[in-house]
Amino acid sequence: MASPTPTTPPRLMDRVRQACRLRHFSRRTEEAYCHWIRRFIVFHGKRHPGDLGEEAIVAFLSSLATVRAVSASTQNQARSAILFLYESVLRRTVQNLPGLERPTEPARLPVVLSRDEVRRLLSAMDGTAKLVAMLLYGAGLRLTEALELRVKDIDIDRSQIVVRQGKGRKDRQTMLPASVAPLLQQHLARVRAVHESDVKNGLGHVVLPDGLAAKFKGASTSWAWQFVFPAARLCTDPRTGNKTRFHLHDTAIQRAVTEAVRAAGITKRASCHTLRHSFATHLLEDGYDIRTVQELLGHADVSTTMIYTHVLNRGGMGVRSPADRL
């Protein structure tokens, strides 16, 4: 009787990815955790983490703060990734991290553009990047939420957008601006033509969430599940091996917004997320209830939305300066 062929144990990074997927982590979280775990391994001369202890973790995280001068949020993300590696993959309990305190991120007021600055920024953009930016400002979407929209999530007749699996894996509804609807319809017509051409060539598969490809046969090539903002180039899905057209990469939009900020002569440190901040602030300036704004933004707690009351167009904390009475 032939002896069974010994199976090769999975590599460490494959185990990390498997553990992330078992817990339904987002693709971004999985990529971030893998990035920091690789950095940790390289930092210690490519030694296996199983041979390292708490002192090695402290040394790596301390170097991020003292040598690399990363922000508190970045250091906390790296810490979470390394602890996940030890506790969920290597099944080792990290007792303590001597001399290392969890850093806290200082509270910062959001950068908000005036209505004129938003108008100038959008005027300096064109094409798909402008359409995405109009949704960030007009619907209060995060950049990843806009790029991950599927065709089925857009309801032009009811002027609404359904955000699926947003921050905290929560769904919510927000408005579809009337000024964006006709542009979006034209954009979708072009995207559909590309998709139908892909299907004719035996392609047209799209990445589906949570194993829906096995549950709904043919869903991966259906028009309803396609990304609203697909990439121009095909790529290979590492999970299925299928040739797919993933959504636009966030750096493409970030770069376009940065260039538009410069071209518009805006001196504020504005980014894609600044458009979302401006959406919330301008709604409050127009007199909309803060609870309504909270729902549109998808904030779990109204205290998060309250930050925008500090940047309303009424001076510092809404107080009139005594100099204006002179």
Instruction: Please state, in angstroms and rounded to a whole number, the distance separating the CA atoms of residues 120 and 159.
Output: 25
Point out the catalytic residue in the list 167, 172, 187, 243.
Answer: 167
Domain chopping of the chain, boundaries:
12-89, 115-311
Per-residue pLDDT of the chain (326 residues; tens, 9 = 90+): 455 555 667 899 999 999 998 888 888 899 999 999 999 999 999 999 999 988 999 999 999 988 888 888 899 999 999 999 999 999 998 877 876 777 776 677 899 999 999 999 999 999 999 999 999 999 999 999 999 999 999 999 999 999 987 777 788 999 999 999 999 999 999 999 999 999 999 888 888 876 676 677 778 889 999 999 999 988 887 767 778 889 999 999 999 999 999 999 999 999 999 999 999 999 999 989 999 999 999 998 888 888 888 777 655 555 666 777 76
Residue from 26, 41, 17, 9 nearest 89 by CA: 17
- Residue 218 confidence (pLDDT): 79
Give the number of other Cβ atoms within 10 Å of residue 187's Cβ: 17
**Among 79, 130, 142, 277, the one annotated catalytic:** 142
The pLDDT, as a whole number, for residue 20 is 93
Fold of 115-311: hpI Integrase; Chain A (1.10.443)
Please tell me the predicted confidence (pLDDT) of residue 213. Answer: 63
What DSSP string describes 31-97?
HHHHHHHHHHHHHTTT--GGG--HHHHHHHHHHHHHTS---HHHHHHHHHHHHHIIIIIS-------
How far does the chain reach from its first CA to its final CA, in angstroms?
Answer: 101
Catalytic residue among 195, 277, 282, 299: 299
Which residue among 38, 39, 92, 273 is the active-site one? 273
Phi, psi at 58, each rounded to 5°:
-60, -40
The helix/strand/coil state of 247 is strand
- What are the Cα distances from residue 226, in Å, to 101, 190, 191, 241? 44, 13, 9, 18
Sign of dihedral through CA atoms 184, 187, 193, 196? Answer: negative
Active site includes 325?
Answer: no
The confidence score (pLDDT) of residue 307 equals 87
pLDDT of residue 136: 96
CATH superfamily of 12-89: Tyrosine recombinase, N-terminal domain (1.10.150.130)
For residue 20, what are its two tokens? Answer: 């992330």
Q: Which of 79, 276, 277, 282 is catalytic?
A: 276
pLDDT for 1: 46
Q: How far apart are CA 235 and CA 173, in angstroms?
A: 30
Buried b / exposed e over 190-202, threshold 16 CB at 10 Å, is ebeeebeebeeee
- The model's pTM: 0.80
- Catalytic status, residue 273: yes
